[in-house]
Amino acid sequence: MPSRRSFLGQTVASAATLTVAPALPAMAPASAAVERLPIALMGCGGMGVHHLKNLMNRPDVDIRYVCDVDANRLASAARIVEAGQGHAPTPVKDVRRILDDKTIVAVWMATPDHWHTPGAVLAANAGKHVYVEKPCSHNVREGRLLVEAATRNKVQIQVGTQARSTKTCQEAMARLHGGAIGDILVAKAWNSQKRRNLGHVPPSQPPAYLDYDLWLGPAPEAPFYANRVPARWRYFFDYGAGDMGNDGVHNIDVAIWGLQVDRLPDRVTALGGKLHFDDDQQWPDTQYVVCEYNAAHAGGLARQLIYEQRIWSPYVQEGYENGNAFYGTKGCLIMGHTIGWKLYGERNKLLEEMTGPVDIRSHHTNFLEAIRSGAALNAPALAGHVAAGVCHLANISTRLGQTLRFDSTTETLPQNEPASALLKRAYRPGHWATPKGV
């Protein structure tokens, strides 16, 4: 990468175009014996299998267990790993089998969101390092408990926001944090894509291959609905945070990274609703959010984070389906989600651009290095909490139609009982996975 000075020198004459090559697979030298860390995966759905496929041919891990409450998915995941790794993992339905096994060093969690913090805290309490998918929490309180679990147990908790380990994003941050667009006062994140209608369905019997009681876990008891499981649970209050907590949280995390804030905002206001879909989903399909950070909490400058969501759009925004804009006093940077960016100076002069692929493998590598050598995590629990927390606060503001004055030190909403109640959630009474302190 050019130094900032030489970079600026280059850009005087013309816009620089860079393409980042895909990272080469990490190969062990033929002579070196690589210690394979025994690991496990909880949640073998779309994302879980994506993790498995990226993990099973690494020389530095041994996938010992796969875990799912869906017997079909479990069997399929075990077969995939056996073929890729050369030996089969043990398939289990109940994560406690993994947590009881003292040889397991780390657990990847790609369950629905209502299991993220409960599962991760259980694993951390059992001394396991945890890679937990985004959003790392179901609500603000859980996010804080996750951060505390990492510190208390002295374990590494990496959140699945792989932009943090993707070269193009890191290069963009180097420009932003090096002053390329001046003081960044506003960062925008958007989620603009085409989702499907979930329809209206009555409750039904869960399929025989699914342990629906274990799927619900610590969430309140509820009938089974075929348009929630799998994958569409994210559009329902008890299991997810809508598309803002799904895809939006990636871009919100990048916005926060650019703004260099490490806490939740001081004020949040949001509007949203279902403007398009006539179906069972509970969260908005259309949403607009503004968060403000006090200067004292954001490196000496008051800053804003804006989020826009329209999940019924068969077209892109600013050239990118999902993305970010960083507005500085000297220029701006427009970024597509993990695919590239363009840096503009005064009067929209294009100064530099870069493209490159998303790199989940490096995110795994960073996590494994943190476990082995204490290297700094790229997406630690705190980063996951402050990104997910924006989604949760914005969703509270949207649901109540209120501007929230949030105490970002105590993470409370003083004198606001209705909103305070939504900082956490109801759990199934006495369920074994309910985190302490919720």
Ligand X SMILES: NC(=O)c1ccc[n+]([C@@H]2O[C@H](COP(=O)([O-])OP(=O)(O)OC[C@H]3O[C@@H](n4cnc5c(N)ncnc54)[C@H](O)[C@@H]3O)[C@@H](O)[C@H]2O)c1
Task: Give me the residues that bind ligand X (CB under 6 A), please.
Answer: 42-48, 67-70, 73, 95, 110-113, 115, 133-134, 160, 162, 214-215, 217, 230-231, 246
Before 230, cis peptide (omega within 30)? yes
CB of 53 to ligand X, least distance (A): 13
Tokens 């003081």 belong to 183
CB of 341 to ligand X, least distance (A): 18
Nearer to ligand X, 77 or 325 (CB): 77
Nearer to ligand X, 10 or 227 (CB): 227
CB of 163 to ligand X, least distance (A): 9
CB of 301 to ligand X, least distance (A): 30
Nearer to ligand X, 81 or 110 (CB): 110
Nearer to ligand X, 59 or 206 (CB): 206
Tokens 């077969």 belong to 79
Which pair of structure tokens corresponds to residue 198?
């979930």
User: β-pairing, 286-293 with 340-344?
Assistant: unpaired
CB of 117 to ligand X, least distance (A): 11
CB of 4 to ligand X, least distance (A): 30
Nearer to ligand X, 245 or 345 (CB): 245
Nearer to ligand X, 62 or 133 (CB): 133
Helix, strand counts (H, E) of the chain: 13, 16
Which pair of structure tokens corresponds to residue 379?
């997406």
CB of 57 to ligand X, least distance (A): 19
**355, 20 in Cβ contact below 8 A?**
yes
**136, 388 in Cβ contact below 8 A?**
yes
CB of 74 to ligand X, least distance (A): 8
- Closest chain position to ligand X (CB): 45
CB of 49 to ligand X, least distance (A): 8
Please give the helix or strand (H or E) that residue 62 lies within, else none. strand 61-67
**134, 253 in Cβ contact below 8 A?**
yes
The residues facing 342 across adjacent strands are: 334, 353
**Sign of the alpha-carbon dihedral angle for 416, 419, 424, 425:** positive
Nearer to ligand X, 201 or 296 (CB): 201
Q: Cα 261 vs. chain centroid, distance in angstroms?
A: 17
Which pair of structure tokens corresponds to residue 357?
């692929």
CB of 109 to ligand X, least distance (A): 8
From residue 84, how far is each of 49, 78, 106, 159, 322 by CA, in Å?
12, 10, 19, 25, 32
User: β-pairing, 267-273 with 332-336?
Assistant: unpaired
Number of Cβ within a 10 Å radius of residue 224: 15
User: β-pairing, 303-310 with 16-19?
Assistant: unpaired
Going through 114-155 in order, the beta strands assigned E by DSSP cover 129-132
In angstroms, the CA 11 to CA 33 distance is 46
Nearer to ligand X, 97 or 424 (CB): 97
- DSSP per residue, 246-302: IIIHHHHHHHHHHHT--S--SEEEEEEE-SS--SS--S-SEEEEEEEE-GGGTTTS-
Nearer to ligand X, 67 or 291 (CB): 67
Nearer to ligand X, 69 or 261 (CB): 69
Nearer to ligand X, 230 or 418 (CB): 230
Phi then psi for residue 12, to 5 deg, are: -60, -45
Q: Which amino acid is it at 126?
A: A
CB of 409 to ligand X, least distance (A): 29
Nearer to ligand X, 133 or 321 (CB): 133
CB of 402 to ligand X, least distance (A): 27
Tokens 């943190």 belong to 370
